[in-house]
Amino acid sequence: MDSLVETRFGVLRWFRCLTHEACSSEWNLLLLRAGATPATPDVHNQERVSVTDQLLDVVSAGVRAYDLARELRIGMPQSPNHPPFWHVVPRRHGDSVRADGGSAANDMITTGTHVGTHIDALAHVSQDGALFGGVDAEEACIGGRYVQHGVHTIEPMIRRGVLVDVAAHLGVTTLDGDHEITLTEFQDALNAQQTEVRKGDVVLIRSGWGAKFDEGQAFVGGATGVPGIGEAVARWLATQGIHAAGADSIAFEHLRPGAGHGLLPVHRLFLVESGIYIIETMNLEQISVDRVYEFTLVLAPLNIFGATGSPVRPLAVVSRG
């Protein structure tokens, strides 16, 4: 610990006295103690050295963060395949009052990991007994936890995000429930936005179905179906090498009227065959209104060891400039 503190202070001293050759020997000694290779700054060709990350300069200049998550509420629409969200306040202000008059309240929640705005880990879906990469689905689960491909293996995302606003491109508020987005429609929307999909992107697809979230069961679909992409668009996105994909609907992909969640071929193609994460039940309305088609997507799942998914609160961040 002492050497770590000494090294940190040494770094600060080195930046402050960069123009003094007398500091070089002290700095080299600190580097040697830290196990690093000594290096002497070129005092004859100096440039201003900043200890501030350039990202902080952008943030300080002003950014806007669009919240792409839905509020977690009791009774919100969700897939019937998962436990519902529940929230209680077991201790309320006034239940216990400190001697100085202070009081505190606390909460307890229970929830499925695939309700509300959430991300699917690669452990969520298997095909013929195998997870992504050919991992045996049974062997991956140890003690009731998916050690392999669980949500704890998803690294926090700070990536280029792309909105593909198919509903807006087709001139409708919401696509019909029986509408499967074709590859032509998808690529035409990209071209109209003058946006491209790149390797490593997080691609968000807006069908407009998210406008039904506050209507409850209408958002689930059921007899009406739910719009979304099918295998053709999914395979094209997989060939582009995307990292993750999200949508404003309950199950990301197209659900045929009356079919429910029985068959989910895009889940298989993304999670099992391609290793692409899926984000569902997103709020894409405001970035659609503001026509924000490219942004920095920031997302981190809860670090739940062995879980197959997690609630998330993704942000689309853009500079105010």
Phi-psi region of 185 (alpha: psi -120 to 50; beta: other; left: phi over 0): alpha
Tell me the C-alpha distance between 285 and 210, whole Å.
8
| Closest by CA position to 245, among listed 287, 207, 214, 278 | 278
Residues 72-80: what's their mean pLDDT? 94
Phi-psi region of 232 (alpha: psi -120 to 50; beta: other; left: phi over 0): alpha
Burial of 62 (0-12, 13-18, 19+ CB in 10 A): exposed
Q: Supply the pLDDT for residue 111.
A: 97
Could you tell me the pLDDT band of residue 42, with boundaries at 50, 70 and 90?
Answer: low
Question: Which token pair is 59?
Answer: 């943030």
The pLDDT tens digits for 309-318 are 999 999 999 9
Could you tell me the pLDDT band of residue 153, with boundaries at 50, 70 and 90?
Answer: very high
Alpha-carbon Rg for the chain in angstroms: 25
For residue 238, the SS3 value is helix
Query: Distances in Å between the alpha carbon of 206 and those of 165, 209, 314?
Result: 5, 8, 15
Q: Are strands 86-91 and 106-110 parallel, antiparallel or unpaired?
A: antiparallel
Q: Which amino acid is at 205?
A: I
Phi/psi at 294 (5° precision): -130, 140
Q: Supply the pLDDT for residue 267.
A: 98
CB 317 within 8 A of CB 161: no
Tell me the C-alpha distance between 183 and 191, whole Å.
12
Q: State yes or no: pLDDT of 213 exceeds 80.
A: yes
The pLDDT tens digits for 230-288 are 999 999 999 999 999 999 999 999 999 988 887 899 999 999 999 999 999 999 999 99
Tell me the C-alpha distance between 143 and 129, whole Å.
18
How many alpha carbons fall within 13 Å on the CB side of residue 252? 28
Residues 220-227: what's their mean pLDDT? 94
pTM: 0.83
Q: State yes or no: pLDDT of 98 exceeds 50.
A: yes
Furthest C-alpha separation in the chain = 79
Low-confidence winner among 42-46, 187-191, 310-314 (lowest mean pLDDT): 42-46
Could you tell me the pLDDT band of residue 45, with boundaries at 50, 70 and 90?
Answer: low
Could you tell me the pLDDT band of residue 23, with boundaries at 50, 70 and 90?
Answer: very low
Could you tell me the pLDDT band of residue 305, with boundaries at 50, 70 and 90?
Answer: very high
Could you tell me the pLDDT band of residue 13, with boundaries at 50, 70 and 90?
Answer: very low
Sequence-distant (≥ 6) Cβ neighbours of residue 168 within 8 angstroms: 189, 206, 208, 288
Q: State yes or no: pLDDT of 19 exceeds 50.
A: no
Residues 139-146: what's their mean pLDDT? 97
| Closest by CA position to 262, among listed 102, 13, 80 | 80
Q: Supply the pLDDT for residue 206.
A: 98
Q: State yes or no: pLDDT of 56 exceeds 50.
A: yes
